[in-house]
Amino acid sequence: MTTPRPAAEGAVQQPALTVDALGKKCPIPIIMLAEQINHVPLNGVVAVLADDPAAFTDVPAWCRLKSHHHVGSYELPQGGWAIHVRRNY
């Protein structure tokens, strides 16, 4: 017997907002995220575009600290990442 899987499992939710922090050094990407996250609805996703290697670890750490959900980090073709964060409150 197979276990049913939710239709959305594995699917990447389209971001409600994109924060372009490319070329900015940490902590600027986190500051920009903190200023903008309340502009999306609850459970909405913010994509933070960043190419500073510190952002790759600092944004997920910020999510744990602030009780938001780090959905995933996706490599960008031009370098850097789209770091997706789901607003929890």
Q: Which of 19, 26, 30, 37 is catalytic?
A: 26
Q: What's the CA gap between 82 and 19, in Å, rounded? A: 9
Q: What angle do CA 60, 52, 66 make, to 5 degrees?
A: 25
Written as one string, the DSSP assignment of 40-55 is: S-TT-EEEEEE--HHH
Q: Is 26 one of the annotated active-site residues of the chain? A: yes
**Catalytic (active-site) positions:** 26
